[in-house]
């Protein structure tokens, strides 16, 4: 290129870069400017507030009749509301009801500070999406963000400003009921899901009337409760806290989450709600969190039974000094803060900081400009459960389904060849359980059951004979014979079995994670008919079902898929959608293996079959029933060996790992290609595998895709012997494959 032309081109490039820099500075500047403007407005309101009004802003009360926790008092909230002593309400629903209460706050109190309404919009508001653990099985971050965006749009149309979601607790014990509410066992996947959900809920503008404030919960390490018992003691190393349980919270923060919720559990002796290290030193100072922290329901008051506070006064002191800004239904801050401030135990600046943080979010929501912007009955009618949302919910549900087994390609069913389907089991004609726990304003009557969904999809091409056979729980086998008769008369049996929605969720833990009741015996009797059986699982947690895996030719994990469960499962059963989900959590052979997860440590005596002196059981295998990342397709995929761009990685450098994946079947399909690494030697022991990347690729039948992963020093970092987050030189193995077991391997060295 001639010098003169080069000059002109370089001028334009420079001009373009300057413009880019100015715009980005401008946008950063705009953001800083907006924050400054909000801070100015907050201070102006704060300067007008009395001590009572300030304390009132820190109080959150539940709406009547929909309590999501123990209620210690029948406090007359309307009275405190009229006195301007309420900052927030939760469990208040509908544009009309929220408007009514907002009018009291805005038009009948001295300063008219608007309320912020919060609610548990965990997987949908009225259009219910798959439970979060199910959605995570899609490994599709765009899909998960869309799901949260729809939930926010419906909730905001019904007067909600704030959701107590995403729940980002890593869970490695399937006895724990709340495993259904999170993103499974892995911090890398859990962090991506946390960020996607925050972006979906909050969008780019909280003042937009289709977005709501999100809340990263339960801070922190709630999922590490001993024995999988809810609210139980958490005793973990500082390294495990930082390496496993904190990353999804940091990801939520980096995605802009505006609130956190402190958890019920203690962490190594200090309850999270009184834990100054995690709430203030880490979250507010080190991570520079500008939003506010709400306690979980009555968790401030529960510092008393925890045994760290003698009374309500001490409980209030501990929580305030730890950094909890808002008291959810603890009824502690009001009145205890008054005495605490008189006694100099809580300072004016501490109180003002908490009030500022809460007012800042209310300003960002636009509530001071228009406190009724979210209470629009017209919009509520047009947005909620509209066709677009229902279609999105069906798509999310389909993509959350995991095909666990498909012997001899029994699935998908071909209605042209199958004349009669026996649809049996307690989950077949079941709407109630489809929407799962934490289903907000979801109406089970609006959920489409598998029976209805299959009938609609078959359009009469094949006959369905339905027989329930048994209940979810209990010992009654009297329905077996009818179902067996139906099976004998059919070409194929679809057995819909699983848990009730009330078997997973808060305070819903199980010591036995097999199929409840007589469902296993039911399937055993069906199997004696010799008819091909497809088991469709509907559950909120990993199930230990070794007999089913061994003896049933086809198994679909469908979790609790929400309002569109029936159509989505029918789409997969009939091959209208080729299942692509992968497990975000390990399924154990037996509860005796728990806790069991893919990124375990090797130990000094890794298991060696047939040899005694090593780490294994006498009576069950050490391998899981189904591993993390596992999921089949109606087609097959073949992985090439890994090609590395280099076998040496230098600090600040990068290397690429490339594979070609071929669809060797006759159906188009999607494959979630996973990348793991192993640090062979470290200053502390390192897991045998860590997920560091994945790609979801659509691959037409007979075609291939080549996928390139880039590995940098960042991917190798961990908390070393001195708790420094760093990468250490040495040999690494890199793995790529369809799950955390079937893996191609290559090696590289990270050099100092
Ligand atoms: C519950 C849950 C929490 C929920 C809150 C409000 O106890 O632990 O996840 O957001 O109370 O319902």
Strands 88-90 and 59-62: parallel
Which of 656, 647, 657 is closest to 736 using CA atoms? 657
State how far the Cα of 709 lies from the Cα of 114, in Å rounded to an integer. 49
pLDDT attached to residue 376: 81
* Helix runs in 365-464, H state only: 377-383, 387-400, 450-458
Give the integer Cα–Cα distance in Å for 642 and 157: 50
pLDDT of res. 94: 85
CATH of the domain at 732: 2.60.40.10
Is there a domain that residue 708 lies in?
yes
pTM: 0.95
* Domain end (from 593, 621, 649): 593
- In this predicted model, which residue has the larger pLDDT, 97 or 431? 431
CB of residue 433 inside a 6 A radius of ligand 1:
no
Residue nearest ligand 1's atom 11 by CA = 297
Whose CA is closest to 246, among 260, 226, 264, 229?
Answer: 260
User: Tokens representing 203?
Assistant: 């969008």
Mutate to test the pocket of ligand 1, among 117, 120, 263, 438 (most ligand atoms within 8 A of CB): 120
Q: Would you say the CB of residue 120 lies under 6 angstroms from ligand 1?
A: yes
621: DSSP letter: -
**Residue 320 included in any domain:** no
Closest of 680, 657, 664 to residue 735, by C-alpha: 657
297 lines ligand 1 (CB under 6 A): yes
Residues of the chain with pLDDT > 90, as a percent, come to 91
Give the C-alpha separation, 232 to 177, whole Å: 12
| pLDDT for res 32 | 75
68 lines ligand 1 (CB under 6 A): yes
The answer to whether residue 334 sits within a structural domain is no
**C-alpha 297 to ligand 1 mean position (Å):** 6
Q: H helices then E strands: how many in the chain?
A: 21, 27
Q: How much is the pLDDT for 5? A: 46
Residue 383 lies in a domain: no
- Residue (of 566, 440, 503, 580) closest to 151 by Cα position: 440
Question: How far is Cα 379 from Cα 383, in angstroms, rounded to an integer?
Answer: 6
Question: Does residue 428 sit in the same domain as residue 556?
Answer: yes
Predicted confidence at residue 2, as pLDDT, reads: 44
Residue 710 falls inside a structural domain: yes
Average pLDDT over residues 693-706: 98
213-231 mean pLDDT:
98
Whether ligand 1 lies within 6 angstroms of the CB of 665 is answered as no
Nearest ligand 1 atom to alpha carbon 118: 6
**Do 508 and 462 share a structural domain?**
yes
Instruction: Name the pairing type of β-strands 637-639 and 648-649.
Output: unpaired
Three-state DSSP at 300 gives coil
| Dist. CA 321–CA 337, nearest whole Å | 11
Ligand 1 centroid, distance to 5 Cα (angstroms): 65
Q: What are phi and psi of 300, to 5 degrees?
A: -70, -50
Tell me the CA–centroid distance for residue 167 and ligand 1, in Å: 10
Ligand 1 close to Cβ of residue 437 (< 6 A): no
**d(C-alpha 152, C-alpha 213), whole Å:** 9
* 473 and 549, same domain (yes or no): yes
Residue 366's region, left for phi above 0, alpha for psi from -120 to 50, else beta, is: left
Where among 593, 622, 648 does a domain terminate? 593
Summary mean pLDDT of the chain = 95
Supply the residues annotated as catalytic: 296
- How confident is the model over 488-537, as pLDDT tens digits? 999 999 999 999 999 999 999 999 999 999 999 999 999 999 999 999 99
Asked if 363 and 457 sit in the same domain, the reply is no
Mutate which of 65, 66, 67, 68 to test ligand 1's pocket (most atoms within 8 Å of Cβ)? 68
Q: What is the pLDDT of residues 448-466, one digit of tens each?
A: 999 999 999 999 999 999 9
pLDDT on residue 68 = 77
> Do 472 and 372 belong together in one domain?
no
User: How many folded domains does the chain comprise?
Assistant: 3
66 Cα–ligand 1 center, Å: 12
The model's confidence at residue 475, banded by pLDDT at 50, 70 and 90, is: very high
Do 528 and 452 sit in the same domain of this protein? yes
368 lines ligand 1 (CB under 6 A): no
Residues 11 and 72 in one domain: yes
Count CA within 13 A, CB hemisphere, residue 203.
19
Regarding the beta carbon of 506 and ligand 1, being less than 6 Å apart is answered yes
Select from 232, 506, 508 the residue to mutate for testing ligand 1; criterion: most ligand atoms less than 8 Å from CB.
506
* 76 CA → ligand 1 middle, Å: 21
Q: Which pLDDT score, from 0 to 100, does residue 377 have?
A: 85
CATH number, domain of 518, equals 3.40.50.1700
Average pLDDT over residues 287-300: 98
- The answer to whether residues 506 and 534 belong to one domain is yes
How many whole angstroms separate alpha carbon 355 and alpha carbon 57?
Answer: 6
Kindly state the greatest CA–CA separation across the chain.
Answer: 92
Do 710 and 608 meet the contact criterion of CB atoms below 8 Å apart?
no
Domain of 79, in residue numbers: 1-24+32-116+347-377
CB 175 within 8 A of CB 510: yes
**Protein residue with its CA nearest to atom 3 in ligand 1:** 296
| 62-71, 217-226, 534-543: least confidently modelled range | 62-71
pLDDT at 328 over 90: yes
Asked if pLDDT for residue 253 goes beyond 60, the answer is yes
pLDDT, greater one: 361 or 30: 361
Measured distance CA(739)–CA(595) in Å, rounded: 19
Q: Are 230 and 180 in contact (CB under 8 A)?
A: no
Residue bearing the bigger pLDDT, 25 or 528? 528
Q: Clarify whether residues 407 and 500 are in a common domain.
A: yes
């Amino acid at each position: 290129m001639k010098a003169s032309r080069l000059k002109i081109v370089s001028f334009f490039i420079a001009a373009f870069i300057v413009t880019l820099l100015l715009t980005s500075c401008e946008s950063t500047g705009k953001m800083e400017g907006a924050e400054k403007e909000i801070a100015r407005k907050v201070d102006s309101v704060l300067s007008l507030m009395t001590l009572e009004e300030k304390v009132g802003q820190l109080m959150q009360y539940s709406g009547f009749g929909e309590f999501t926790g123990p209620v210690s008092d029948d406090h007359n909230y309307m009275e405190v509301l009229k006195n301007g002593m309420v900052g927030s309400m939760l469990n208040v629903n509908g544009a009309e009801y929220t408007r009514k209460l907002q009018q009291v706050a805005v038009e009948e109190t001295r300063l008219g500070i608007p309320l912020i309404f919060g609610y548990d919009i965990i997987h949908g508001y009225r259009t219910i999406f798959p439970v979060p653990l199910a959605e995570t099985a899609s490994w599709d971050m765009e899909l998960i963000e869309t799901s949260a965006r729809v939930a926010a749009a419906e909730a905001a149309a019904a007067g909600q400003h704030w959701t107590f979601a995403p729940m980002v607790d890593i869970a490695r014990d399937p006895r724990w009921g709340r495993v259904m509410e999170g993103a499974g066992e892995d911090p890398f996947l859990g962090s991506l899901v946390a960020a996607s959900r925050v972006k979906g809920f909050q969008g780019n503008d909280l003042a937009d009337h289709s977005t709501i404030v999100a809340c990263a919960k339960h801070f922190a390490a709630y999922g590490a409760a001993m024995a999988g018992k809810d609210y139980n003691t958490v005793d973990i190393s500082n390294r495990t806290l930082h390496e496993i349980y904190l990353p999804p919270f940091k990801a939520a923060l980096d995605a802009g989450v505006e609130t956190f919720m402190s958890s019920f559990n203690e962490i190594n002796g200090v309850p999270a709600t009184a834990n100054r290290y995690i709430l203030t030193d880490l979250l507010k100072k080190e991570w520079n969190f500008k939003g506010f922290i709400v306690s979980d329901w009555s968790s401030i008051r529960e510092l008393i039974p925890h045994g760290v506070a003698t009374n309500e006064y001490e409980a209030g002191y501990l929580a305030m000094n730890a950094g909890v800004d808002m008291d959810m239904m603890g009824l502690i801050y009001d009145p205890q803060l008054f005495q605490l401030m008189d006694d100099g135990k809580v300072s004016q600046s501490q109180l003002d900081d908490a009030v500022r943080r809460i007012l800042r979010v209310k300003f960002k929501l636009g509530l001071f400009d228009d406190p009724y912007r979210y209470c629009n009955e017209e919009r509520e009618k047009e947005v909620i459960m509209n066709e677009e949302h229902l279609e999105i919910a069906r798509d999310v549900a389909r993509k959350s389904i995991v095909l666990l087994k498909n012997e001899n390609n029994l699935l998908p069913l071909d209605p042209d060849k199958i004349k009669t389907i026996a649809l049996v089991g307690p989950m077949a004609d079941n709407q109630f359980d489809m929407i799962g726990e934490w289903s907000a304003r979801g109406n089970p009557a609006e959920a489409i059951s598998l029976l209805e969904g299959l009938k609609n999809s078959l359009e009469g091409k094949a006959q369905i004979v339905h027989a329930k056979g048994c209940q979810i729980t209990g010992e009654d086998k009297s329905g077996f014979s009818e179902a067996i008769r139906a099976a004998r008369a059919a070409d194929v049996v679809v057995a819909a079995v699983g848990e009730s929605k009330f078997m997973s969720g808060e305070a819903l833990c199980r010591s036995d994670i097999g199929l409840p009741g007589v469902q296993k015996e039911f399937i055993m009797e069906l199997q004696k008919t010799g008819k091909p059986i497809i088991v469709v699982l509907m559950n909120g947690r990993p199930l230990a079902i070794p007999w089913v895996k061994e003896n049933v030719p086809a198994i679909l994990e469908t979790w609790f898929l929400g309002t569109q469960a029936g159509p989505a499962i029918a789409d997969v059963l009939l091959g209208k959608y080729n299942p692509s989900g992968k497990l975000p959590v390990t399924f154990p052979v037996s509860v005796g293996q728990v806790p069991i997860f893919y990124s375990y440590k090797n130990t000094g005596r890794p298991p060696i079959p047939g040899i005694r002196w090593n780490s294994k059981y006498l009576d069950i295998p050490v391998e899981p029933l189904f591993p993390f990342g596992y999921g089949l397709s109606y087609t097959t995929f073949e992985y090439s060996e890994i090609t590395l761009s280099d076998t040496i990685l230098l600090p600040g450098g990068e290397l690429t790992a490339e594979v070609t994946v071929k669809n060797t079947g006759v159906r188009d399909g999607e494959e979630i290609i996973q990348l793991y690494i192993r640090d062979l030697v470290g200053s502390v022991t390192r897991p045998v595998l860590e997920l560091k990347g994945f790609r979801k690729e659509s691959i037409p039948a007979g075609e291939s895709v080549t996928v390139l992963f880039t590995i940098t020093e960042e991917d190798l970092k961990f908390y070393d012997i001195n708790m420094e987050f760093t990468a250490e030189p040495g040999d690494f193995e890199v793995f790529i494959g369809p799950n955390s077991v079937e893996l191609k391997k290559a090696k590289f060295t990270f050099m100092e």
